[in-house]
Chains A and B, each alone.
Chain A
Amino acid sequence: MSPPAIVARGLEKRFGAAVALRPLDLEVAAGELVVVLGPNGAGKTTLLRMLAGLSRPSAGHLEVGADGSGGDRRARRRGVGLVAHASLLYPALTARENLVLAGRLFGVPDAEGRADALLAEAELEACASQRAGALSRGLAQRVAIARALVHDPPILLLDEPFSGLDPRAAEALEARLAGLHRAGRTIVASTHDLERAASLADRALLLVRGFAALLPREVARSRAALEERYRNGLASPPRLAVGVRP
Chain B
Amino acid sequence: MWAVLWKDLLIEWRSRDRVLAMGVFALLVVVIFHFAAPAGPAAGGEATREHLPGLLWVAYVFAAILGLNRAFALELENEALSGLALAPGERGWIYLGKAAASLVLLVAVQALAALAFALAFDLDLVPVLLPFSGIALLGALGLASIGTLFSAVAVRTSYREVMLPLLLLPLLVPVLLGAVRATHGLLAEGTVPADALRLLAVTDAVFLIVSFLGFEYVLDE
- Select which of A75, A77, A91, A93 is within 8 A of B86 by beta carbon: A77
B interface, by DSSP: helix, strand, loop or mixed?
helix
Contacts of A91 in B (CB 8 A): 77-78
B173 at interface by CB-CB < 8 Å: no
Within 8 A of A (CB), among B9-26: 10-11, 14-15
Flag if A92 contacts B89 (CB, 8 Å). Answer: no
Contact string against A for B residues 80-95, beta-carbon threshold 8 Å, 1 for contact and 0 otherwise: 1011111111100000
- Quick one: CB contact mask for A57-97 with B, threshold 8 Å, 1 for yes? 00000000000000000110110001011111111110001
Q: Name the one of B2, B7, B87 contacting A90, with C-beta atoms under 8 angstroms.
A: B7
CA distance A56 to B77 in the complex (A): 23
Chain B nearest Cβ from A67, distance in angstroms: 12
For the complex, what is the distance from the CA of A78 to the CA of B86, rounded to whole Å? 8
Residues of B within 8 A of A132 (CB): 78
Considering only residues 25-80 of chain B, those with a C-beta below 8 Å from chain A are 74, 77-80
Contact check: which of B2, B74, B85 meets A54 at CB < 8 Å? Answer: B85
Q: Which of B4, B10, B88 contacts A74 (CB 8 A)?
A: B88
Q: Chain B interface: which of A31-39, A104-112, A167-175, A225-233?
A: A104-112
Counting CB contacts under 8 A, is B221 at the interface? yes
Closest B residue to A89 by CB, please name it.
B78
Chain B residues near A89: list those with CB within 8 A: 78, 80, 83
Question: A90 contacts B86, CB within 8 Å?
Answer: no
Q: A49-B82, A82-B86, A90-B80 are in contact. List 13 more A-B contacts (CB 8 A).
A: A53-B86, A55-B220, A74-B88, A85-B79, A89-B80, A90-B11, A90-B77, A92-B15, A93-B7, A101-B6, A104-B2, A132-B78, A147-B83
Q: Would you give 22 A-B contacts (Cβ < 8 Å), ordered by A?
A: A53-B86, A54-B221, A77-B88, A78-B88, A82-B82, A84-B79, A84-B82, A88-B78, A88-B82, A89-B78, A90-B74, A90-B78, A92-B11, A93-B10, A97-B10, A104-B2, A105-B3, A105-B4, A105-B83, A105-B84, A105-B87, A132-B78
